[in-house]
Chain A
Amino acid sequence: MLARVRDWLDERFGWDELIAPLRKKTVPVHRYSHWYFLGGITLFLFLIQVGTGILLLLYYRPSANEAFESVQYIMTRVEFGWLVRSIHSWAGNLMILTAFAHMFSVLFLRAYRKPRELTWVSGMLLLFLALGFGFSGYLLPWNTLAFFAIKVGTEVAGQVPLIGKWLVVFLRGGEEVTGATLTRFFGFHVALLPGITTLLIALHLALVQRFGISVPRSLEAQWLRPSARRHQAGMVFPFHVPNAEGAPRKGLVHRW
């Protein structure tokens, strides 16, 4: 069945050719490899957020009169509403954690070196966007804690020189935290930020794809020594199975 669909696509679009670049990847394997998982985990959590976020949108009501009540409704009346909301809230926090861990691993492995500067910059922007998600999402339940957290949080923006005052008004949609703030934070949280983030993720991934995965400098030097042997082994994505000969592993070709 699947094979027939594939043949059909292949006849028309040259499907196999299209996905050929995805079928074979060279991934450096060394003792720091696990740090490379963090970007992928962050991406996975983002997709969870998009999925559960869209589900929450079916019942959440973004107005000062109804927001709190609609969240209570999700928790108490909607079947598995507690699950969807809890996953959204936990995965949201975890995503911040993994994004930071990802950033630090790139920093310490010095993976930001030329030619990957743009990947680093787009990644930093994504990190700020993730923080923006967390901050704007926090107001949405519209309870006392959320209200004061956002009140204090937006006050901090007022300390920015010159534009601070303007920034606070922009964030709050007025001088104070009111229903207008809730409406615009909702807009940020479910439309503006997801839009920008999706574009930046596409760029970030395209860059990673283009440059391949970086090898820490010390290892690179070691591998470039003429005496170094080169080993390749067939692997199935995404499991790292130690290769049979127990030889030092370098470039691994992942086929699937």
Chain B
Amino acid sequence: MCPKDSAAQVPREVAQSPVRRRFAEFLLGGGLLASAISFLYPILRYLVPPAQPDLGTDSVVAGRVGDLRRNSGKVFRFGNRPGILVLTENGDYKAMSGVCTHLNCTVQYRPDLRQVWCACHNGFYDLNGRNVAGPPPRPLELYEVHVRGEEIVVDRRRGA
């Protein structure tokens, strides 16, 4: 505050008492410091990256309703890898990884056999991704499918 103002209200010797002044400065400074810390602390904590880099799910629009006839399938992009989306004869959508668990070829749907087939070494998977014949050692990862309005959304649960 302006020294002239405060001098008008507080007796001279009290206003100039170094102890009082230092005490007031201490309170003021302490208050400001505490405020500054209470603002900075959350920000610093916010900046620290959480242990888990994301929520572990991931989703992509695999196609639009009407893209597929019944008993047919298509390959879509899931990030940088292929996935396969199948519309079954009963009208259910199924989606799974499109990368063969044998040697990573891209699989395709075989309407004649109602199975997912890998052309590279004649591997077969059923519509739940289970490896049923040929060299593939493991099932294909199955994805969740949701129809949202016109869009067919495929979700994958990672890690978590």
Q: Which residues of A contact B (CB under 8 A)?
A: 55, 58, 64-66, 69-70, 72-73, 76-81, 83-84, 179, 234-236, 241, 244, 255
Main secondary structure of the interface of B (DSSP, over half): mixed
Asked if A55 and B46 make an inter-chain contact with CB atoms under 8 angstroms apart, the answer reads: yes
**Interface with A: B26-34, B51-59, B88-96, B100-108, which one?**
B51-59
Chain A: CB-nearest residue to B47: A58
Main secondary structure of the interface of A (DSSP, over half): mixed
Bound Cα distance A76, B52 (Å): 11
Bound Cα distance A69, B58 (Å): 8
Bound Cα distance A158, B4 (Å): 63
Asked if A79 and B50 make an inter-chain contact with CB atoms under 8 angstroms apart, the answer reads: yes
Question: Which residues of B47-70 are within 8 A (CB) of A?
Answer: 47-48, 50, 52, 54-55, 57-61
The interface residues of chain A lying within 8 Å CB-to-CB of B54 are 69-70, 73
CB of B8 within 8 A of chain A? yes
The interface residues of chain A lying within 8 Å CB-to-CB of B48 are 79
CB of B19 within 8 A of chain A? no
With both chains docked as a complex, state the minimum distance between the C-beta of A15 and any C-beta of chain B, in angstroms: 22
Bound Cα distance A255, B57 (Å): 57
The interface residues of chain B lying within 8 Å CB-to-CB of A244 are 5, 8
Asked if A80 and B2 make an inter-chain contact with CB atoms under 8 angstroms apart, the answer reads: no
The interface residues of chain B lying within 8 Å CB-to-CB of A241 are 5
Bound Cα distance A64, B153 (Å): 11
Asked if B59 and A234 make an inter-chain contact with CB atoms under 8 angstroms apart, the answer reads: no
The interface residues of chain A lying within 8 Å CB-to-CB of B46 are 55, 58, 78-81, 83-84
**Further 6 A-B residue pairs, CB within 8 A, beyond A65-B59, A81-B46, A84-B42:** A69-B57, A69-B59, A70-B54, A79-B42, A79-B46, A80-B43
The interface residues of chain B lying within 8 Å CB-to-CB of A66 are 58
**Contact partner, B43, options A55, A72, A76, A179, Cβ 8 Å:** A55
The interface residues of chain A lying within 8 Å CB-to-CB of B59 are 65, 69
Asked if A77 and B52 make an inter-chain contact with CB atoms under 8 angstroms apart, the answer reads: yes
Asked if A234 and B2 make an inter-chain contact with CB atoms under 8 angstroms apart, the answer reads: yes
Bound Cα distance A69, B160 (Å): 14
CB of B22 within 8 A of chain A? no
Bound Cα distance A83, B52 (Å): 19
Bound Cα distance A123, B13 (Å): 50
Chain B: CB-nearest residue to A74: B46
Chain B: CB-nearest residue to A64: B61
The 6 closest A-B pairs by CB, nearest first: A80-B42, A79-B45, A77-B50, A234-B2, A80-B46, A73-B55
CB of B1 within 8 A of chain A? yes
With both chains docked as a complex, state the minimum distance between the C-beta of B4 and any C-beta of chain A, in angstroms: 6
Bound Cα distance A241, B1 (Å): 10
Q: Please, could you name 14 A-B residue pairs with CB atoms under 8 Å apart, sorted by A?
A: A55-B46, A65-B59, A73-B50, A73-B55, A76-B55, A77-B52, A79-B45, A80-B43, A84-B46, A179-B61, A234-B2, A234-B5, A236-B5, A255-B2
Contacts A64-B61, A65-B59, A69-B55 given; indicate if A80 touches B4 (C-beta within 8 A): no
With both chains docked as a complex, state the minimum distance between the C-beta of B121 and any C-beta of chain A, in angstroms: 32
